[in-house]
């Protein structure tokens, strides 16, 4: 996590200066039985690492209702109950492919590191109490990132609507990190008095509401719907990842996707002007100030993932794998050609 945070901090400086580049995420959707098939791509180039990368997801997606909210859930429909997500890494010097990696761990780490950078610039330096809303795959990376930038945190509360999941999360991470974490079954109890609240859920409806937002609190999200519009209006400072708002979308005619219909999911980006907000690159480059006093209410909204993140974290991962002798070597000739493309 420390390596990811450091590498991404440098990449956002490069992006702010126009050295590194990235493209808006693209989603293409069609019906697939009772589910939806989605082909998602994003790409970016990190010149200082000498790599460009493309992230490709080939997903079967459902939107089950859990309690009063809807969730976006990918189905492991590939043989062996597996998911399909790939990162292709290329050399910026020769154009040749350098690596093909699964995206699961890398996408989790880049989200956790990005949230950590937002927390570092927007949360109180003297923060001692934090809360995490969610107890799944993404929540673990949020916890790692939080403790990397605020190691002084003494208390971490975890809310999950599934008490067993929340307790298991606290046991697992408590054992790994040598700290004690507390599971809560009510979100109000979990966030009350917290200096930092980090949302890490699959919900496409708000989970953090105005009534939870206390003076001096910083709240972060891994996607726009998690923080309610009224919270964003109340905040003294709202920072977004890049301000792209939502992905470029192409879908089959008459297809109704919960993420893109009604008042849920990406529709949140239509209701609030994220394009006018401070970006993470602005904060890191010093173009805009982060937190300026202890009483400010601040928000970091991870409005959209970037291909640049995958170029950076995959580039770091590639170097670590090569130095450790990990991975399978495939002939480059399998992926290059003599014919002019």
In this prediction, residue 35 carries a pLDDT of 94
In this prediction, residue 241 carries a pLDDT of 94
| 124 plus 187 within the same structural domain | yes
| 79 plus 11 within the same structural domain | yes
Question: Could you give the count of Cα atoms lying within 13 Å of 210 in the half-sphere of its Cβ?
Answer: 6
The first and second tokens of residue 259, run together, are 């993420």
In this prediction, residue 71 carries a pLDDT of 87
Neighbours of 102 (CB within 10 A): 13
In this prediction, residue 269 carries a pLDDT of 65
Q: What is the distance between the alpha carbons of residues 164 and 155, in angstroms, rounded to a whole number? A: 20
| 144 plus 163 within the same structural domain | yes
Q: What is the mean pLDDT of residues 155-161?
A: 95
Number of domains the chain is built from: 2
| 99 plus 113 within the same structural domain | no
Query: What distance, in Å, lies between the first and last C-alpha atoms of the chain?
Result: 39
- pTM for the full predicted model: 0.94
| 214 and 129 Cβ atoms separated by less than 8 Å | no
Residue 56 gets which letter from DSSP?
A: E
Neighbours of 233 (CB within 10 A): 10
Does residue 248 lie in a domain region?
yes
Q: What is the distance between the alpha carbons of residues 242 and 89, in angstroms, rounded to a whole number? A: 22
- Could you tell me whether strands 218-221 and 298-301 are parallel, antiparallel, or unpaired per DSSP bridges? parallel
Does residue 339 lie in a domain region?
no
| Structural domain containing residue 33 | 2-103+307-327
**CATH code, domain with 214:** 3.40.50.720
The first and second tokens of residue 271, run together, are 């209701």
Does residue 39 lie in a domain region?
yes
**CATH code, domain with 36:** 3.30.1780.10
Q: What is the distance between the alpha carbons of residues 123 and 105, in angstroms, rounded to a whole number? A: 26
Query: CA triplet 225, 313, 178: central angle to 5 degrees?
Result: 80
Checking if the pLDDT of 151 tops 80, the result is yes
Max avg pLDDT among 77-91, 199-213, 234-248: 77-91
pLDDT, tens digit, for every residue of 38-53? 999 999 999 999 999 9
């Amino acid at each position: 996590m420390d390596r990811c945070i450091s590498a991404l901090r440098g990449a956002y400086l490069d992006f702010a200066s126009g050295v590194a580049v990235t493209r808006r995420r693209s989603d293409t959707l069609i019906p697939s039985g009772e589910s939806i098939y989605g082909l998602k791509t994003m790409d970016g180039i990190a010149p200082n690492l000498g790599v460009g990368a493309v992230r490709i997801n080939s997903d079967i997606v459902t939107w089950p209702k859990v309690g009063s909210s809807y969730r976006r859930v990918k189905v492991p429909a590939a043989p062996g109950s597996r998911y399909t997500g790939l990162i292709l890494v290329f050399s910026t010097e020769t154009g040749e492919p350098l690596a093909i990696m699964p995206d699961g761990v890398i996408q989790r780490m880049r989200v956790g590191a990005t949230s950590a950078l937002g927390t570092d610039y927007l949360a109180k330096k003297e923060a001692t109490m934090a809360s995490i809303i969610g107890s799944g795959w993404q929540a673990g990376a949020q916890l790692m990132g939080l403790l990397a930038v605020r190691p002084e945190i003494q208390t971490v509360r975890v809310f999950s609507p599934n008490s067993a999941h929340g307790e298991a999360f606290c046991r697992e991470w408590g054992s790994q990190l040598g700290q004690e974490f507390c599971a809560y079954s009510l979100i109000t109890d979990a966030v009350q008095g917290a200096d930092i609240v980090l949302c890490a859920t699959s919900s496409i409806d708000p989970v953090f509401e105005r009534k939870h937002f206390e003076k001096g609190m910083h709240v972060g999200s891994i996607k726009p719907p998690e923080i309610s519009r009224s919270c964003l209006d109340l905040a003294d400072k709202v920072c977004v990842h890049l301000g792209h708002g939502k992905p470029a979308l192409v879908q089959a005619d008459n297809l109704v996707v919960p993420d893109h219909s009604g008042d849920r999911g990406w529709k949140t980006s239509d209701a609030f002007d994220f394009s006018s907000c401070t970006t993470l690159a602005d904060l890191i480059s010093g173009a805009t100030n982060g937190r300026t006093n202890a009483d400010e209410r601040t928000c970091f909204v991870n409005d959209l993932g970037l291909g640049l993140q995958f170029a950076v974290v995959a580039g770091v991962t590639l170097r670590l794998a090569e130095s450790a002798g990990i991975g399978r070597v495939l002939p480059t000739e399998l992926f290059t050609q003599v014919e002019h493309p």
